[in-house]
Structure 1
Amino acid sequence: MKTIKTLSVLALTAVLFTACGEKKKEKAEEVMEETAEAVTEVVEEQTTPNIVGVAVGNENFSTLVTAVTTAGLAETLSGDGPFTVFAPTNDAFAKLPEGTVASLLEPASKDALTGILTYHVVAGKYEAAAVIEAINANNGTFTVSTVQGGTIDLSLNDGKVMLTDAKGGTSTVIMADVAASNGVIHAIDTVVMPE
């Protein structure tokens, strides 16, 4: 679809070049560039889903998607943001003691589930390069405040970003910079826990 729009813009420009003098040619070039930029922006907006859309489209996040839906956070994480989400994979949730996930998905546990999930979300967009730069600039540890209200310490271990939660538990970023229209997702191998 992007190709068709681009070809249409180019065809229109060719017609304008043939019919116009030099000044009109320059104006047509400006219009073509502005139109191409606008079309590109629209296409990019339509093709990059938000954080929830990205998670829904990745089978490794199915447990997270279920939890986000149960906690009523889908609308929030679909908002403008930007957000950085340290997203536990299905394997990360599977590391929790048996029955924990099922218990958290019960209506009576909604507040606890919401607290855990929002502990994985940071306001702002922090791509991997910026995180590593911040860690190095802060003597090896960069502390981020979560939407839940707690903090997570970020550090490096063998070149990989590590998270240390409020209870001293750790998690490793196993896939960084998954782009979303309203932020970025970093997949992690262990669920981190607030106090």
Structure 2
Amino acid sequence: MKKHTILSALAACSLLALAACGGDAPADDASASGEIGSETLAALIDDSPDLSTTAEILGDTGLQSVFDGNAPYTVFAPTDEAFAAQDIPLEGEEAQAARVAILREHIVPGFLTRADIVGAVESSGGSVEMQTMGSNTLTFTEDGDTLVIASSDGSRARVSGAGMSGANGSVFPVDGVLKSLDAPG
């Protein structure tokens, strides 16, 4: 069953990535209704008042240019409150490297909407796994109408709202950090 859920998720990612490359996105901004806007992931994150720490990490490290590009990604971005609760250091080179490593564990390749993830969870019988751009495996389940994410290190977070979809992917604010500083990988 586990092999089936991973293959389903990979197939969904591949199909969505192909669709994102060839389709014309509507000119309006992404909204909670699930519409796809014309802004890039970097712009969506930068414009979100609850994701200023994530925006700062992207800007400080040069990763913003990656999310301004054409490659599709889905970002499960910890809110500012989630970062504050982890007491993640904000100063110095070592802190910057740790913040980038943590953020990498929240990024999944491909363009996924909430409906895509929920559909995969429901069709798999309760959970689906996806590999991040780092060494993390995220397991998605539902708790009522809430999408819950568990990290391979045991960290958990809940998706806050419907998320935002832009020209090159989706951003989902989450209420927790999905990789601890002391976790291996």
TM range (shorter): 0.7 to 0.9
Q: TM-score, with normalisation over the residues of structure 2?
A: 0.74
- Name the counterpart of 1:101: 89
Structure 1: 4+ residue segments shifted above 6 A? none
Q: Distance in 1 between matches of 2:100 and 2:111?
A: 21
Q: Over residues 38-68 of structure 1, what are the superposed CA-to-partner deviations in whole Å (9 max), with x where a residue is unaligned?
A: xxx5972897210111111121111111112
- 1:114 CA displacement: 1.9
Q: Distance in 1 between matches of 2:139 and 2:26?
A: 37
The one of the two structures with greater contact order (alpha-carbon pairs below 8 A, sep at least 6) is: 2
8 Å CA contact retained: 1:83, 1:121: yes
Change (3 A) 1:80 1:139: same
- 1:177 CA displacement: 3.1
Q: Which amino acid aligns with 1:101?
A: P
Q: Over residues 3-43 of structure 1, what are the superposed CA-to-partner deviations in whole Å (9 max), with x where a residue is unaligned?
A: xxxxxxxxxxxxxxxxxxxxxxxxxxxxxxxxxxxxxx597
* Number of corresponding residues: 151
Structure with the larger helix share: 1
**Corresponding residue to 2:96 among 110, 115, 120:** 110
- Confirm whether residue 44 of structure 1 aligns to residue 27 of structure 2: yes
- Name the counterpart of 1:57: 47
8 Å CA contact retained: 2:89, 2:95: no
Q: Which amino acid aligns with 1:74?
A: Q
Structure number with bigger Rg = 1
- In structure 1, the gaps of 5 or more residues are 1-40
Q: TM-score, with normalisation over the residues of structure 1?
A: 0.70
Change (3 A) 1:75 1:158: same
Q: Which amino acid aligns with 1:119?
A: E
- In structure 2, the gaps of 5 or more residues are 1-23, 30-36
Percentage identity across paired residues of the two chains: 22
Change (3 A) 1:159 1:55: same
Q: Over residues 79-103 of structure 1, what are the superposed CA-to-partner deviations in whole Å (9 max), with x where a residue is unaligned?
A: 1121111011111112113xx232x
* SS of match in other structure, 1:164: strand
- Name the counterpart of 1:184: 170
Q: Distance in 2 between matches of 1:42 and 1:149?
A: 31
State the superposition RMSD in angstroms: 2.1
**Corresponding residue to 1:90 among 80, 95, 98:** 80
- Name the counterpart of 1:22: none
- 1:130 CA displacement: 0.9
* SS of match in other structure, 1:175: coil
Q: Distance in 1 between matches of 2:69 and 2:89?
A: 26
